């Protein structure tokens, strides 16, 4: 049975000079409102011991706009500013529910430059998108079509560190489940092999960061030599950001293709519950673990399985998948990382990663 889900389609676009100026001004105002509201809520929380609601911050915003000092907030659409207050409210809700740390201030250099527009602040007409305060539609590169008849509910405009402009269009889409299949697969995450499947297949880690490491190091050295505040330093910074963007784009593209393949070919996918944050404390492997991007891999599997009526099972992180013989179930006392192949007393010869993947599959199917 088809299900209706909210799905974001992200496209690159090329703003006119006037649109770029308007959007940059909006980004600045969004960041300012978020930080000022956070400052007021922090003051009330620390000095008065009370929580400030979204309604109160919305009233504050109205008062700020009436002052001569902050009159510039009236120059941009009010919707992205209200959305910034809603995002701050969500951040505090997560903090009080102990799902996240205390909200932090947005930085001009480090924070993502973005603005969110709801239906009242944009117009969608004949496949063209008009934002509030703009006369011309955005020049969007339609790399893939939107679902037929889709009506955007939210539009988020952003600019990355490499200077590229993106628009993310949120629509409701009807997704039909994939036809059922009988196969199931266990997945063991690794470094040299990004994943090893219980079928015996090993998918090599492309090592996107490693492939561009020399080029990245050269660009970073050039950046370090430039005088702070100079135009040459900004050019060098953009060069570094473009290399990082290339690495990120290639990695995400590879993960999308891999996870889509796993979901299409298998009814059940079983993975390990890896604690990536703790594993990154190993300074010898941190760079390789970050490049593998296991967290993003799991996230993609989760929502794709939910979309297409597949089952994703997660095995406990303490399950000894590498030490257990998948043939007879004997648990080995030790299994150092440098041991890649081993033989059990029962006579079964194992590849370490393939054996682990088979154990993960068996454990997942046994627990469901």
Domain boundaries along the sequence of the chain = 3-175, 184-367
Q: Report the alpha-carbon angle 350-296-177, nearest 5.
A: 90
Biggest CA-to-CA distance, the chain: 83
Burial of 356 by CB count in 10 Å (0-12 exposed, 13-18 middle, 19+ buried)? buried
Burial of 344 by CB count in 10 Å (0-12 exposed, 13-18 middle, 19+ buried)? middle
Please tell me the predicted confidence (pLDDT) of residue 20. Answer: 97
22 is catalytic: no
Catalytic member of 22, 116, 209, 272:
272
Please tell me the predicted confidence (pLDDT) of residue 190. Answer: 83
Cβ neighbours around 228 below 10 Å, total? 5
Q: Read off the pTM.
A: 0.87
188 is catalytic: yes
Please tell me the predicted confidence (pLDDT) of residue 93. Answer: 95
Please tell me the predicted confidence (pLDDT) of residue 78. Answer: 96
Distance in angstroms between the alpha carbons of the first and the last residue of the chain: 23
Cβ neighbours around 87 below 10 Å, total? 14
Token output for 193: 């092999």
Please tell me the predicted confidence (pLDDT) of residue 281. Answer: 66
Catalytic member of 116, 173, 291, 353:
353
Q: Give me the DSSP letters along 141-204.
A: E-SSPPPTT---SEEEEEE-TTS-EEEEEEEEEEEPPPPP-S-EEEEEE-SSEEEEETTS-EEE
Token output for 179: 């036809």
Measured CA distances, 77 to 262, 347, 351 (Å): 43, 71, 60
Q: Give CA–CA dist 11/157, Å, rounded.
A: 10
- Closest among 109, 122, 101, 134 to 170, alpha carbons compared: 122
Token output for 305: 């399985």
Q: What is the pLDDT along the chain (368 residues), one digit of tens a residue?
A: 778 899 999 999 999 999 999 999 999 999 999 999 999 999 998 998 889 999 999 999 999 999 999 999 999 999 999 999 999 999 999 999 999 999 999 998 888 899 999 999 999 998 899 999 999 999 999 999 999 888 999 999 999 999 999 999 999 999 999 999 999 999 998 888 889 999 999 998 888 888 888 999 999 999 999 999 899 999 999 999 999 999 999 999 999 999 999 999 999 999 998 776 666 666 666 676 677 788 899 999 999 999 999 999 999 988 888 889 988 988 888 888 888 888 898 988 999 999 999 999 999 999 87
Q: Give me the DSSP letters along 2-25.
A: -EEEEEEEEEEE---HHHHHHHHH
Burial of 125 by CB count in 10 Å (0-12 exposed, 13-18 middle, 19+ buried)? exposed
Please tell me the predicted confidence (pLDDT) of residue 110. Answer: 82
Please tell me the predicted confidence (pLDDT) of residue 283. Answer: 64
Catalytic member of 116, 188, 209, 291:
188
Q: Give CA–CA dist 89/37, Å, rounded.
A: 10
Q: Give me the DSSP letters along 110-122.
A: TS-EEEEEEGGGE
Token output for 132: 């509030």
Q: Give CA–CA dist 222/243, Å, rounded.
A: 13
- Closest among 50, 53, 71 to 62, alpha carbons compared: 71
Cβ neighbours around 295 below 10 Å, total? 13
351 is catalytic: no
- Closest among 245, 108, 85 to 166, alpha carbons compared: 245
Token output for 128: 């063209």
Please tell me the predicted confidence (pLDDT) of residue 338. Answer: 84
Q: Give CA–CA dist 129/166, Å, rounded.
A: 13
């Amino acid at each position: 049975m088809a299900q209706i889900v909210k799905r974001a389609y992200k496209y690159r676009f090329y703003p006119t000079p006037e649109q770029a100026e308007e959007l940059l001004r909006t980004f600045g105002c969004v960041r300012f409102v978020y930080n000022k509201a956070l400052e007021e809520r922090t003051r009330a929380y620390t000095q008065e011991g009370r929580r400030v609601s979204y309604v109160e911050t919305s009233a504050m915003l109205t008062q700020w706009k009436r002052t001569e000092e902050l009159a510039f907030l009236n120059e941009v659409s009010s919707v992205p500013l209200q959305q910034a207050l809603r995002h701050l409210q969500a951040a505090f809700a997560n903090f009080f529910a102990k799902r996240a740390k205390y909200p932090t201030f947005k930085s001009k250099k480090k924070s993502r430059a973005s603005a969110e527009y709801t239906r009242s602040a944009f117009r969608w007409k004949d496949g063209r998108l008009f934002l509030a305060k703009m006369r011309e539609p955005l020049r969007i590169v339609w790399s893939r079509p939107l679902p037929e008849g889709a009506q955007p509910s939210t539009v988020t405009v952003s600019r990355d560190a490499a200077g590229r402009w993106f628009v993310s269009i949120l629509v409701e889409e009807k997704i039909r489940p994939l036809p059922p299949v009988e196969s199931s697969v266990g997945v063991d995450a690794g470094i040299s092999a990004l994943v090893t499947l219980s079928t015996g297949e090993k998918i090599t880690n492309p090592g996107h960061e490693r492939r561009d490491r020399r080029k990245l190091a050269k660009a970073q050295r050039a950046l370090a030599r430039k005088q702070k505040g100079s135009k040459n330093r900004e050019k060098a910074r953009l060069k570094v950001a473009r290399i990082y963007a290339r690495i990120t784009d290639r990695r995400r593209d590879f993960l999308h293709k891999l996870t889509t393949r796993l979901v299409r070919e298998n009814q059940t996918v079983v993975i390990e519950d890896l604690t990536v944050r703790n594993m990154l404390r190993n300074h010898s492997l941190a760079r390789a673990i970050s490049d593998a991007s296991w967290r993003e891999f799991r996230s993609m599997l989760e929502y794709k399985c939910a979309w297409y009526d597949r089952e994703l099972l997660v095995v406990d992180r303490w399950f000894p998948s590498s030490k257990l013989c998948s043939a007879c179930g004997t648990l080995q006392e030790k299994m150092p990382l440098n041991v890649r192949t081993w033989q059990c007393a029962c006579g079964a010869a194992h590849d370490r990663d393939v054996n682990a993947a088979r154990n993960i599959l068996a454990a997942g199917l046994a627990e469901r």
